[in-house]
Structure 1
Amino acid sequence: MASDGGRKQFWKRSAAKVPGSIQHVYGAQHPPFDPLLHGTLIKPGSKAPTTPVKLKKVSTFQEFESNTSDAWDVGDDDDELLAMAAENLNTDVVMETAHKVIQNHSKLQEQHKLQEEQIQEEKSVQTSGLSSAAHGDNRLVKSVSESHASCSADGASENSSVQRSQSLPHDSTVLPVGGMTDCRTSTTPALTEREASRLDKFKQLLAGPNTDLEELRKLSWSGIPKQVRPITWKLLSGYLPANVDRREGTLQRKRKEYFAFVQQYYDSRNDENHQDTYRQIHIDIPRMSPEVLRLQAKVTEIFERILFIWAIRHPASGYVQGINDLVTPFFVVFICEYIEEEVENFDVSSLPEEVLQNIEADSYWCMSKLLDGIQDNYTFAQPGIQKKVKMLEELIRRIDEQIHRHLDQHEVKYLQFAFRWMNNLLMREVPLRCTIRLWDTYQSEPEGFSHFHLYVCAAFLVRWRKEVLEEKDFQELLIFLQNLPTMHWGDEDISVLLAEAYRLKFAFADAPNHYKK
C-alpha cells in the first residue's frame, strides 16, 4: 500500500474532482439510517435535555467525531456506525471514515490472533494438568475456568461470559467471527453476541408480510448470517418476490418451468449442433471448486444440466468457460438450507431427489439473474471483460501510478492476469468461503457484479502492492499475480477489501472522466 503521506496527497487531488454538494457520505458500509445524526445526540451517562436540541450541520470530521459517542472505538460494530448522513461533508471526511474502518478491522484481527494464542497456551496447560496424577483435578478446574474467561469476545468477566453463552441459540451453525473457537464442548459453534444480534435483525426483517428489499440490501452489505443466506440471496437476486404469500407459488412455478426446459432441451446435448457446447461443459466442470464437489457424480450431473440449459436458452453468448464457476456459490448456499454440516464433508447424493431438484432449479434461476447483468462478458470476443480490464488499468494508473509503471516496465499486461478476475468474478483468486461473503455485498450493491466489482479488483491489486513492487522479473510477476496467497483468507480480509473498494468507488463515483489520461 502507498505511504500515508502519498495516500493523503492522492485523496487531496481526488477531492478536487468530487462536487461539494454530496447528499450522503458513508464509509465501508451500505448507507443505513443513523439516528445519531438525525436526532438529538445524547452522550452515554448524560441526562436527556428537557427541550429538543437542534443539531448544527457538521462540516468537518473533527466536529462529526466530537458529536458522536465513541463512533470509532475498536469494540464498536463498524457495520452499523458507518452512516455519516450530514449533507455537506466533503470527500476528505469520507476517506478518513473508511480509513478508520480499515484500521479497526486491523486492530480486531490483532486481538483475535492474541486470543487464539492465549487459548492455545491454556489448552497446553490443561493437557499437562490432565497428565499429572497428583494435582490433575485442581489443574483441570483451573484450566477450564481460565479457558471460559478467555473465550469472552469482548474481554468481559467470566460470569458475564457464561450468562451470554447460555442466552445464545444452541442450534446455530454460523461460524464465529475471526476464527475464535467455541468455549463449549458442543461440535456446533456458538454465536457471538454480535452475530446473534445481526441474525435477529435479519429474522425480523424477513418475518413481515412484505420484506423491505432496500432495508435488506443495507443489512446484507456487511455480510449475511448462514442461517438466512439462502432466502436472502433468492430475494436479493430477484428470484423471489418480497411478498411472503407469493413465494411458495413462485418457487413451485419456476421449478416446474426449469424442468420443463430440461425435458425439452437436454436430450439434444448429443445433437451435432449442440455437442461441442456439451463437450466443453463436461470438460470444465471437473475444474470447479471445491474439489469434494467436483468429484461427486451427482453434482456433475446437476451442473451439466444447469449449464447446458442456460447455453441453449441464451444463444447470443452460449456457453463460455468461466460460467461454470458461477453456479457453485448458489449451489453451495442453497444446499446449506437442507444440511447442518459443511458441504465439504457431505455426500450430496444422500439428499432426497426432490430436494436436489429444488436446489438445481433455484441455482439455475439465480445464476441466470446474475448473468443477465453481465452477459456482455460472455458474448462474442467478450467485449464486457475487455472493457472492464481497460477500465481497471486506467483506474490503477490514477490510484497508484507506481504499480502501473512497474507492471508496464516489466511488460506485464493487465489482460494477462485481470481477465480471469473479471471472467470468474475473483472466484479463482480467493477461497469459496470468501466468494460467498463477497457475493453477499455484490447482491446488495447496485450493479455489484459489474460496476462495484471493478473497484474490488482495483483494491485487490493494490492490496499486493509491496509484493508486486518487489518482483523484478516478468515471469515471476505474472506467476505471483496468477497465484496470489489467499488460501487462509476469511471474512475479515474480505471486509477490509470491500472497505477499500467502497472508498475508491466513492472517490470516483462523481468523476466521469476518471478513466481518461
Structure 2
Amino acid sequence: MASDGARRQFWKRSSSKVPGSIRHVYGAQHPPFDPLSHGTLPQATPSPPARPRRVSTFQEFESDTSDAWDAGEDDDGLLAMAAEQLHTDVVMETAHRVLRDHSQRQGQRQQGGPEPPATPPPPSGDLRLVKSVSESHASCPAESAGAPAPLQRSQSLPHADSVPGPAAEAPGSATLSEREASRLHKFRQLLAGPNTDLEELRRLSWSGIPRPVRPVAWKLLSGYLPANVDRRAATLQRKQEEYFALVEQYYGSREDEAHQDTYRQIRIDIPRMGPEALVLQPRVTEIFERILFIWAIRHPASGYVQGINDLVTPFFVVFLCEHIEEEAVDAADISRVPEEALRNVEADTYWCMSRLLDGIQDNYTFAQPGIQVKVKMLGELVSRIDEPLHQHLDQHEVRYLQFAFRWMNNLLMRELPLHCTVRLWDTYQSEPEGFSHFHLYVCAAFLLRWRKEILQERDFQDLLLLLQNLPTARWGDQDISLLLANAYRLQFAFADAPNHYKR
C-alpha cells in the first residue's frame, strides 16, 4: 500500500512541470477530477447478494481455450463481418469443432507425439463467423501464468513492415510481398470503380490499408470524399476553398482579447507534440496553429482543449505522403513540398479531423464528461475480464483516471509510435464507431497486454510510472494487429451483454 507521503511527493514532482503562468486547460496531462469522489457520475446500483461462485468461471474457460484457434484462415473471410449478425448454430458448430481439435492437440503434446493437422477452414458460407472467434488465438494466456506468450501470426493479421532484424528476411517473405501486392490490387480495383462500395472498403481496411492508397481511403472512410468518383475533384476544391475562407475570416483575430488565451495555449502545446522532427519545422507549426485555432473558434461549446492538438498529426502525415517520396513521413523535410500541395494537405487535415471530433466532442466539452464516462466503463470492463488485475490496481490505490484519462483523451497517441497510431486508425475508421466505442475495448486489451508487468509492481508510484510510460517504442504493425484482435474478441464477448459476466 502506498504511503500518503510517497503519493504527495509523486504528484508534487508531476505538477511542477507545468509553468504557473499557463492557464489550466483540461487535457492529457491534467485530469480534471475524479468523478466518483465529486459525484459527477451516477453511482452504480448496489449489487444483489453474491451467489456462490461456480467452479469454472469464464476467465478460467478462456485461459484453457484461448490458444485453440488456428492461425491459418483466409484474410478476406476473417474480416468479412464487423457489424453482421452471426448465426448461433454456425457459431456453436465451429466452436465445438475447434475445441475438440484443441483437446486432441493438447493430448498429443502431453504424449510427446506430433500434433494433428489444424482444423480446416469452414465452408465459404461460414466465413463470416471466423473473425468473431478465431482471433482469440491472439490472446496471451501464457502471460497470465507469468511467462511471456510467443506471438502467433495469423494470416488474417498484416505483417509488420517495420519489424527489424531477421524477421524481415525470414523464409516466406516473398510470399508476404505477393500477399501485400494482392491486397493493394484489391484496394485499387475498389477505389477505381465509378462508385466505391464503402462497406467493402471498411471490410478490407480493418486489417490495415496499404500506404499508397491510404490517403484516399481515409478521406472516404471519414465521409469527407463522396463515393462517386466523378464528384471527388469538385468536392475537394470546394472544401479547400471553404477552409481558407475561414482562415481569412477568423485567423486574424487570434491576438484579440477574446481569443488570445486560446491561441497562446495552442502555441505552447504544439512544440510538445511528436514527432519533433516534423512538428518543429516552422511551416508545419504554422499549419497546425491555423487548423487548431479555426476549429476552436468554430466549436465554442468545447473550444481548444489539450489533447485535440495530437489528433491533427496522423491526418497530416497520411495526406502528406502523397507528395513526398520518403518512407518515413514523420521526419520528411517539408520545405521541399510545393506550397499548393501543402495548402491541400492543410485543408484536408482540418476537415477530416473535424469529422473525427464530431463523433467524440463530449470528450472535450466542459469537465470532459465523455472521457469521464469512458474511464469509468474501462474500470468496470476490466473488473469483469480480469478481476485479479483490477483488484491489484485497487489494492495499491491506483485509479483508472490517473492513467487512462490520457489514453482516452489522446486516443493512445502518447502511448504508441506514430506509425502504430496510423495503423490503429485504419481499423478505427473501418469500425462503425471506432473512435468512440471500439476504442474502449482497445484500451482494455492494451491494459491486459501489460498484465504480467503490472502484477509485479507492488508500489503506487512504480505502478503509475509504469502505466504512464509503457515500453512500446519498438512496436510495429504486428503488435497493433494482435492488440486489435484481442480488442475485437473483448467487444464480441462483452459489448452486447454488459452484465452477463457479473457475479
TM-score, length basis structure 1: 0.71
CA distance in 2, matches of 1:415, 1:83: 46
Kindly tell me: are residues 487 and 268 of structure 1, through their superposed partners in 2, closer, same or farther at Cα, counting changes over 3 Å? same
1:107 is matched with 152
Q: 2:189 aligns with which of 182, 188, 204?
A: 204
The one-letter amino acid of 2:411's match is L
Kindly tell me: are residues 357 and 221 of structure 1, through their superposed partners in 2, closer, same or farther at Cα, counting changes over 3 Å? same
| Contact 2:371/2:408 (8 A) holds in 1 | yes
Q: 2:320 aligns with which of 335, 349, 356?
A: 335
1:273-422 paired onto structure 2 within 5 Å: 273-341=258-326, 342-422=328-408
Kindly tell me: are residues 370 and 222 of structure 1, through their superposed partners in 2, closer, same or farther at Cα, counting changes over 3 Å? same
Please report how far the alpha carbon of residue 117 of structure 1 lies from its aligned counterpart in structure 2 after TM superposition: 6.2
CA distance in 2, matches of 1:95, 1:465: 23
The one-letter amino acid of 2:272's match is R
CA distance in 1, matches of 2:381, 2:474: 28
Q: 1:9 aligns with which of 44, 48, 60?
A: 60
1:244 has 2:295 as partner: no
CA distance in 1, matches of 2:229, 2:325: 25
Kindly tell me: are residues 436 and 496 of structure 1, through their superposed partners in 2, closer, same or farther at Cα, counting changes over 3 Å? same
| Contact 1:27/1:502 (8 A) holds in 2 | no
Please report how far the alpha carbon of residue 376 of structure 1 lies from its aligned counterpart in structure 2 after TM superposition: 0.2
Match of 1:59, SS state, is helix
| Contact 1:329/1:436 (8 A) holds in 2 | yes
Q: 2:494 aligns with which of 498, 508, 517?
A: 508
1:97 has 2:82 as partner: no
Please report how far the alpha carbon of residue 340 of structure 1 lies from its aligned counterpart in structure 2 after TM superposition: 1.3
| Contact 1:332/1:343 (8 A) holds in 2 | yes
Q: For each residue in 1:457-493, what CA deviation from the matched residue of structure 2 results, as whole angstroms up to 9, or x when unmatched? A: 0000000000000000000000000000000000000
1:217 is matched with 202
Please report how far the alpha carbon of residue 66 of structure 1 lies from its aligned counterpart in structure 2 after TM superposition: 10
Match of 2:182, SS state, is helix
Query: Based on CA coordinates, which of the two structures has the bigger radius of gyration?
Result: 1
Match of 1:452, SS state, is helix
1:427 has 2:413 as partner: yes
| Contact 1:59/1:88 (8 A) holds in 2 | no
Q: 2:81 aligns with which of 24, 27, 31?
A: 31
| Contact 1:28/1:82 (8 A) holds in 2 | no
Kindly tell me: are residues 403 and 95 of structure 1, through their superposed partners in 2, closer, same or farther at Cα, counting changes over 3 Å? farther
The one-letter amino acid of 1:261's match is L
CA distance in 1, matches of 2:351, 2:384: 38
Q: 1:61 aligns with which of 92, 95, 105?
A: 95
Match of 1:433, SS state, is helix
CA distance in 2, matches of 1:197, 1:387: 42
- What is the aligned-residue RMSD (CA, Å)? 3.6
Please report how far the alpha carbon of residue 333 of structure 1 lies from its aligned counterpart in structure 2 after TM superposition: 0.3
1:470 has 2:488 as partner: no
Match of 2:324, SS state, is coil
2:220 is matched with 235
Q: 1:494 aligns with which of 468, 480, 488?
A: 480
Kindly tell me: are residues 332 and 82 of structure 1, through their superposed partners in 2, closer, same or farther at Cα, counting changes over 3 Å? farther
The one-letter amino acid of 2:448's match is V
- The size of the alignment, in residue pairs, is 403
Kindly tell me: are residues 118 and 385 of structure 1, through their superposed partners in 2, closer, same or farther at Cα, counting changes over 3 Å? closer
CA distance in 2, matches of 1:266, 1:378: 22
Q: Structure 2: where are the runs of 5+ without partners? A: 1-55, 65-75, 102-120, 141-148
Please report how far the alpha carbon of residue 57 of structure 1 lies from its aligned counterpart in structure 2 after TM superposition: 9.3
The one-letter amino acid of 1:31's match is M
Q: For each residue in 1:426-449, what CA deviation from the matched residue of structure 2 results, as whole angstroms up to 9, or x when unmatched? A: 000010000000000000001100
Match of 2:254, SS state, is helix
The one-letter amino acid of 1:289's match is G
| Contact 2:77/2:127 (8 A) holds in 1 | no
2:447 is matched with 461
1:154 is matched with 172
Specify which structure has the bigger relative contact order, considering alpha-carbon pairs within 8 angstroms and separated by 6 or more residues: 2
Please report how far the alpha carbon of residue 350 of structure 1 lies from its aligned counterpart in structure 2 after TM superposition: 2.0
Kindly tell me: are residues 87 and 334 of structure 1, through their superposed partners in 2, closer, same or farther at Cα, counting changes over 3 Å? closer
Kindly tell me: are residues 94 and 218 of structure 1, through their superposed partners in 2, closer, same or farther at Cα, counting changes over 3 Å? closer
CA distance in 2, matches of 1:57, 1:457: 27
Q: For each residue in 1:141-193, what CA deviation from the matched residue of structure 2 results, as whole angstroms up to 9, or x when unmatched? A: xxxxxxxxx946427xxxxx6xx8xxxxxxxxxxxx7xxxxxxxxxxxxxx11
CA distance in 1, matches of 2:183, 2:122: 16
1:149-188 paired onto structure 2 within 5 Å: 151=169, 153-154=171-172
1:63-82 paired onto structure 2 within 5 Å: 63=97
Q: Structure 1: where are the runs of 5+ without partners? A: 14-25, 39-54, 68-80, 120-149, 156-160, 165-176, 178-191
Identical counterparts, % of pairs: 67
Please report how far the alpha carbon of residue 294 of structure 1 lies from its aligned counterpart in structure 2 after TM superposition: 1.8
Please report how far the alpha carbon of residue 509 of structure 1 lies from its aligned counterpart in structure 2 after TM superposition: 2.2
Q: For each residue in 1:24-78, what CA deviation from the matched residue of structure 2 results, as whole angstroms up to 9, or x when unmatched? A: xx997352899xx99xxxxxxxxxxxxxxxx9997243547999xxxxxxxxxxx
1:272 has 2:272 as partner: no
Match of 2:151, SS state, is helix
CA distance in 1, matches of 2:318, 2:383: 37
Match of 2:325, SS state, is coil
Please report how far the alpha carbon of residue 82 of structure 1 lies from its aligned counterpart in structure 2 after TM superposition: 9.7
The one-letter amino acid of 2:152's match is K
